[in-house]
Amino acid sequence: MSEIAVIGAGAWGTALAVQAARAGRAVVLWARDAGRAGAIEASRVNPRLPGVVLPGSIRVTSVLPGAGMTLLVVPLQHMRAVVAGLPGGGPVVVCAKGVERGSLLLPLEVLAAVRGDREGAVLTGPNFAHEVAAGLPAAAVVAGGEALRAAVMAGIGTPGFRLYGNDDAIGAQVGGAAKNVVAIAAGAVVGAGLGENARAALVTRGLAEMARLAVALGGRAETVAGLSGLGDLLLTCTGASSRNFSLGLELGRGLGLAEVLAGRSAVTEGVTTAPALAARAAAAGVGMPIVEAVAAVMRGEIDVQGAIAALLGRPLRDE
């Protein structure tokens, strides 16, 4: 396989570059800012992923590279502009999660709208960047066409980073988007002191919402029950390193959204995803009460206590 390009030098992009190098690939890692790219290239350390030394097979650049395969690891809300400037015509593996604001498109739908000439797949699952970079055991899903997902699995997979293929890209993307929103709700439940019973109930009902939307958009419920849905939920709704869970935790403790975001430099995907996902579900005729409640909190229409009261006060029904 020729050189792999990793577009986005945040923590996850850097971790994937390290993983691709671990799999024996030559890698070019793109950072948008030339000064930052030069500093990482010179020091072989990315401050976004402290303690990890980049292997010699990784070169860092601020010039968008062409490559036999491109891993696109930029936040979804910035993906459209970056995709438009990609050179070459090789396949693109989208490693972003969410729903685009305004268009309400999933990641592969954004790719198709901007660069219909590029074949796409999605890489998603329960992965914290620092653990993947350290070589700790992990698994993920590559969803897309058969030949491309096989190429990705062979290209960056190792025994410690086990990749599973799936032909249901819609279900995989819905799981990746919705889990961040449910994680905010789970964090709020814990932060508000409502207990572990409440968190377990919320996560389970959140999974049901995800499955309903996946099926409505043409995906499969069983995909959401796998790594890209349930697996990601388990990690994001319980792991202390989850940005979305920790944001919900602070909201549940009484802090305002603006106050929490002011203390962060990294993107918390669920903040923007929640209103967009709620709108996409509404357009599909799918009820997602938990997602809708989080979206209302993100828009400032209701506080956490009001959202919790609204969810608990919903009419009784069969599961």
- Provide φ and ψ at 71, rounded to 5°: -95, 115
Round to whole Å and give the CA distance between 11 and 62.
16
Q: Given the residues 48, 179, 199, 212, select the one marked as catalytic.
A: 179
Please indicate whether residue 179 is annotated as part of the active site.
yes
Burial (CB count within 10 angstroms: exposed 0-12, middle 13-18, buried 19+), residue 59: middle
Residue 37 and residue 62 in contact, taking contact as beta carbons nearer than 8 Å: yes
Strand 120-124 versus strand 27-30 pairing type? unpaired
- Provide φ and ψ at 123, rounded to 5°: -110, 120
Order of strands, edge to edge, in the sheet holding 58-61? Answer: 58-61, 27-30, 4-7, 69-72, 92-94, 120-124, 138-143, 161-166
Q: Residues with catalytic annotation?
A: 179
